[in-house]
A = this chain, B = another copy of it.
Amino acid sequence: MSVLTTFCIRMQFAHVLRFESILTQSISVPKRMMMEKRATSYDVAKLAGVSQSAVSRVFSPNGSASKKTREKVLEAARELAFVPNPIAKSLSLGRSRLAGLIVTQYAQQNYPVALRSAVDVMSETGDSLLIQIIDSSDYADTAIEQLLQKRVDIVICAASITVAAAQSCKDAAVPLVLINRTLDFEWVDQVVSPNADIMHDVAEHLATTGARETLFIDGGDDNWISVERRRGYVDGCRIHGLPDPAILSSSFDYDGGLAAIADLGESVRKFDAVVAANDPMALGALDALRHDIGLDVPSDIQVVGHDDTEVARYQSYGLTSVRQDMHNMLLKAIELAYARLDEPGRDKIATEVENELLLRSTTKNRSD
């Protein structure tokens, strides 16, 4: 709807533009060249010989104005290079047209495209994104508080929060939607992917390719997503008849994976597969396995990562990984948040976005 109106205005504008490009060939000096201050609706009104409210109406989605005034106004506006001041608009409307997005450093690094599409989607409707980046193990509470103070209309949070933060949002009537995180609080909607299911699939694939003893490397208990994936994997092992995996905690990055295997040393040979909580860890483990221990992957030992990082597909790795459709998760989240803005009282919604296991060359193929 907002998109539509914007479009309409743009079309009108285009129309005017076309006209003047014919008419103004000779008048080449834009009036505002030397101007310090940008034109306001009053300036436009004066030039067009109408009231300021007329100008406002012409630039409003549902403003009523006669064709004649509309034309006069648009012409004057063009002449003065007038663009409605969004800040004044915000103050008047009580909507900042700002959306807050909180992501972890990890996500920012590994979902660059998703971030971009979030920005793009927002700017399509003329809104903007206020991005906050926090550490993967931190709670987003302070970030939320900051966003709230900046009067964002909605907040999308791809990090853990406490109920207190959720309450703050609710108090401020600012829709909050969580991505890949759950919270027992009716006001917050959430977008998740079937993390458990996909880890079951991982276990199944390893089982059917002959693995028995497996190792899971996680990023520590304060890392929500890591814990989630670990739980899914452990369950998956049980479901698919694998022994419980060994668990190792390390840092949530390349060095963590490297260190985990280094710590294990030769004893890592007893494992048939190592599953890591994310790609960087998996890559670290993979490098250690190959270069330090001297094992062949996947024939000696299989390796699975998570998140389908850009590097995963690089020839030297070809890492089997899980791709999360972060792009769509973000879009869904934005959608949910704006929907609640219109209907604050509606029931909590939890949307699920599919993810996908990408089998590459660090795992064996099923024989079937």
Contact = CB atoms under 8 A, between A and B. Distances in A.
Interface of A: 2, 6, 32-33, 35-36, 38, 83, 85-88, 90-91, 94, 96, 105, 108-109, 112-113, 115-116, 119-120, 123, 128-133, 146, 149-151, 171-173, 254, 258, 283-284, 286-288, 290-291, 310-311, 314-317, 342
B86 A149 contact: yes
Nearest to A35: B171
Contacts of A88: 91
B112 A149 contact: no
Q: How many copies of this chain does the complex contain?
A: 2
Contact of A86 (B94, B132, B150, B171): B150
A88 B172 CA distance: 17
Contact of A108 (B32, B83, B96, B112): B112
Given A108-B112, A314-B254, A316-B291, A133 B119 contact: yes
10 smallest CB-CB distances across A and B, nearest first, come from A287-B315, A109-B112, A116-B133, A316-B316, A87-B90, A83-B149, A311-B311, A87-B91, A128-B130, A91-B91
Contacts of A151: 85-87
Contact of A36 (B146, B149, B173, B310): B173
A282 to B, nearest CB: 12
B91 A119 contact: no
